[in-house]
Amino acid sequence: MLSDFETQLLSVMMMVIMLGMGASLTFKDFAISLRKPTGVAIGLVTTYLLTPIVGVTLATMLQLPPAYAIGLILMACLPGGTTSNIFNYFSKGVLSLSLLMTIVSTLFAVVLVPVTLGFFSQGIEGEWRIPPENVARVLFVLLVPTLIGMLLRKLNANVGAVIEMIGGLLGVVVILFLIVSWVPRNYQLLLTTSWQIYFGAIGLGVFGFAVGYGFARLMRQDKRRARTIALETGIQNGPLGVLIVLLTFTGVQQQEVLLIPVLYSLFIVLTSSALTVWFRKISAAEDLARDNAKIGALTRT
């Protein structure tokens, strides 16, 4: 489904993306998050509990075969990526919260992804299960450039900012790369793919947005922070999911398991773009209403 060259290129791209992700955060940010941990804690719950429940529920309701079910559950158990930070920026979300949620969930991923994946995929047949230790090894390797990025940011803020920008943009480039290189070769497969698989791949993001927003509001987060958490919850690290599948399966198995992670990565850009436009309009209206309220208060004094 992906050539050896494309697999190697994706691995290098993921290293750069994680480097950029680490460069987006300073060690002081962790101290700040510990003083106001509610948003980050909500993000961990939505990422490693609620979203996996969404994935398992979809796989069960749609009666997906094991190959596609494990691909969907894998995506549901992954943390967010730098793509979510870009969409939160354009949607006028709380960017600092978005960055913190992404980094913290990624650092916890080394432990929590293998645990959640192992737990939520218990019903999958043995040959289709992804060994948790494989996932842990991949995440541990990717944790190294993340920590290096944080160190570079500490040593030189300007260098860190450049690396952060490159890493964020590369997250989008990876998805575009998948579209340009993968879709033309597999268009026949896309034409014959069942609606259940499309629904699962698209529904994971859409229902993830809804669950993230609803839970954030339930935890009394304001609407802007809730919208930020919604995007962080619905946007999983698609390239990471693709890489894990490529390093775990081979041959026909790889092609089947890879289908939902690739489809998810393609469609999440479309659904996130639509949601970002809507969220941006809401944020702009809120800002305007706040400014008008301030002007009204000044005129009355």
Distance CA 243, CA 193 (A): 22
Q: Mapping DSSP to helix (H, G, I), strand (E, B) and coil, where does residue 235 land?
A: coil
Give the pLDDT confidence of 178-218 residue by residue, as tens digits: 667 777 777 787 888 899 999 999 999 999 999 999 999 99
| pLDDT of residue 2 exceeding 70 | no
Number of domains in the chain: 1
For residue 267, the domain's CATH number is 1.20.1530.20
Q: Are 21 and 106 in contact (CB under 8 A)?
A: yes
Q: Given the structure tokens 């842990």, which residue do they identify? A: 136
Would you say the C-alpha torsion 163, 112, 68, 213 has a positive or negative sign? negative
pLDDT tens for each residue of 75-94: 999 988 777 877 888 888 88
Domain extent at residue 293: 4-300
Tokens linked to 111: 């432990």
pLDDT at residue 176 tops 80: no
Nearest 5°: the CA angle 111, 24, 238 is: 55
Helix 157-182 with 4-23: angle, nearest 10 deg: 150
Number of Cβ atoms within 10 Å of the Cβ of 94: 19
- What are the residues whose beta carbons fall under 8 Å from the beta carbon of 83, sequence distance 6 or more? 168, 171, 172, 175, 235, 237, 238, 268, 269, 272
280 Rama class: left (phi>0) / alpha (psi -120 to 50) / beta: alpha
Residue type, 28: K
Choice between 206 and 173, residue whose per-residue pLDDT is larger: 206
Predicted TM-score (pTM) of this structure: 0.83
**The pLDDT of residue 265 is above 60:** yes
